[in-house]
Amino acid sequence: MYPENIIAKFQEQFSKEASLVVRAPGRINLIGEHTDYNDGFVLPAAINKAIYFAISPREDEICNVYAFDLNSSDTFSISSIQKSDKSWANYLIGVVDELQKAGQKIKGFDLVFGGDIPLGAGVSSSAAVETGLAFALNQLYDLGLETMQMVKIGKAAENNFVGVNCGIMDQFASMFGKKDAVIRLDCRSLAYQHFPLSLPNHTVILCNSGVKHSLGDSEYNTRRLECEEGLSILSGIYPNVKSFRDLTLTMVEEAKTSLSANVYKRCVYVVGEIDRVIVACEALEQNDLETFGQKMYETHDGLQHNYAVSCEELDFLVDETRNDDAVVGSRMMGGGFGGCSINIVEKSKAEDFLNRIKKAYQAKYHKELVTYEVALTNGTELI
């Protein structure tokens, strides 16, 4: 289906062949949630669900863009950048805006894009749109951008133009992904390291709660503000503390009376989660999936109780796995308030697991549980 239908649609829409076709994957995050904007570590991977771009350059300043999955088109000019009333188009316009702000000279383009990344499932379709377009324009106009520059342009587009205060993880994973590997990204220094996760006997299954969340929601920005407040108070108490990386749980505990109840809980979660990623990576190096899975459960508990970004449906999905010996680890994934749980499941028992959890979800919430089996793949690339 993809990318053939994107290529065919481009030809139909613009009566010409696309100059190039790009694949930009979605991502999962195995562990390290809400740590990216707190100078922590994250452990994402690119997956075999992607957005595909068919694109050709133009000689003028007009950009004609068509969203295949929404059957919707928009047109804008690179010389008069302004927000579109079509929210999907702003992810693209934001990338063009950031490229121009960075002094890059581009012209207009014709574009059709779409893919099989499930929307609202927390696997970062928006980041794939941003990195995919940045990558395509870099190729199309020979801009000579390095991968990390394109990552930063994608992030800046979402921060400055779309108005979502996201961290850098999603765009980074979409660009730097590697088959059968996860990436530990240090969100403070942007240093990164790949860790093998080939899973010969296990598979990664996402269970979509069907609860819609929007990161533009105030809750996401509220958590960021609570973390900033906590760090500001803690660095006043401990002069050597510049970021959450400099804190231990003991230090947060000692300063508890200086923090509001909510801010204390957020700090406990972030400091604990930074530590969990380090322990989880050590477990991967030892090929110790059991410890890795245990850390996933600890992350979920922290997100549920201390960071307060889970929801009843996600908690149900994770709780359903706790006594299932086919499941190594499970947790909610993404910004929260909906989206998917991520599960590492024994391949030989995956079918039984899916049948059981779908039945349980249907019985409890009277709706079908949509699931996705995903594999770890390479990052954004030319097809």
237-277 pLDDT per residue, tens: 999 999 999 999 999 999 999 999 999 999 999 999 999 99
Pull the structure tokens for residue 178.
């590697």
Q: Which residues contact 192 (CB under 8 A, 6 or more apart)?
A: 172, 176, 183, 184, 185, 186
User: Does residue 158 sit within a domain?
Assistant: yes
- How many CA atoms are closer than 13 Å to the CA of 270, on its beta-carbon side? 27
Residue whose tokens read 């069907």: 210
pLDDT value at position 120? 66
Catalytic residue among 36, 97, 110, 170: 170
pLDDT value at position 1? 80
Residue whose tokens read 């994250």: 42
pLDDT value at position 216? 43
Beta bridge partners of 25: 50
Q: What's at 218, amino acid-wise?
A: S
pLDDT over 90 at 218, yes or no: no
CA distance 95 to 296: 34
pTM of the full predicted structure?
Answer: 0.91
What mean pLDDT is predicted for residues 84-101? Answer: 97
User: Does residue 103 sit within a domain?
Assistant: yes
Please tell me the total count of domains within the chain: 1
Q: What is the pLDDT of residues 281-301, one digit of tens each?
A: 999 999 999 999 999 999 999
CA distance 157 to 95: 5
User: Does residue 238 sit within a domain?
Assistant: no
Pull the structure tokens for residue 70.
């929404």
Q: How many CB atoms lie within 10 A of CB 44?
A: 26
Question: Which structural domain, as residue segments, surrounds residue 161?
Answer: 4-198
CA distance 252 to 260: 12
Backbone angles phi, psi at 173, to 5 degrees: -65, -40
Q: With bands split at pLDDT 50, 70 and 90, how would you rate the model's confidence at 214? A: low
CA distance 338 to 200: 30
In the DSSP assignment, the letter for residue 201 is S
Q: Residue ranges of the alpha helices (H) in the chain?
A: 4-14, 87-101, 125-140, 147-156, 169-176, 218-237, 249-254, 261-285, 289-305, 312-319, 350-365
User: Does residue 161 sit within a domain?
Assistant: yes
pLDDT > 70 fraction of the chain, expressed in percent and rounded: 98
**Cα distance from N-terminal residue to C-terminal residue, the chain:** 15
pLDDT over 70 at 217, yes or no: no
Q: Which domain CATH number covers 114?
A: 3.30.230.10
* Closest CA relative to residue 290, chosen from 343, 331, 329, 333: 329
User: Does residue 222 sit within a domain?
Assistant: no
Q: Is 142 a catalytic residue?
A: no
CA distance 179 to 377: 4
Mean model confidence pLDDT for the chain: 95
Pull the structure tokens for residue 360.
């349980």
CA distance 219 to 224: 9
Higher pLDDT, 118 or 337: 337
Instruction: Confirm if 178 and 379 have CB atoms less than 8 A apart.
Output: yes
Q: With bands split at pLDDT 50, 70 and 90, how would you rate the model's confidence at 85? A: very high
Residue whose tokens read 């400055």: 160
Higher pLDDT, 310 or 164: 310
What mean pLDDT is predicted for residues 333-362? Answer: 95
pLDDT value at position 220? 83
User: Does residue 261 sit within a domain?
Assistant: no
Q: With bands split at pLDDT 50, 70 and 90, how would you rate the model's confidence at 83? A: very high
CA distance 77 to 63: 6
CA distance 152 to 138: 13
Angle subtended by helix axes 289-305 and 312-319, to nearest 10: 150
User: Does residue 92 sit within a domain?
Assistant: yes
Backbone angles phi, psi at 253, to 5 degrees: -60, -45
pLDDT value at position 121? 66
Q: Which residues contact 242 (CB under 8 A, 6 or more apart)?
A: 235
Q: What's at 194, amino acid-wise?
A: H
User: Does residue 187 sit within a domain?
Assistant: yes
* Closest CA relative to residue 81, chosen from 58, 104, 97, 65: 97
Q: What is the pLDDT of residues 150-207, one digit of tens each?
A: 999 999 999 999 998 788 899 999 999 999 999 999 999 999 999 989 899 999 999 9
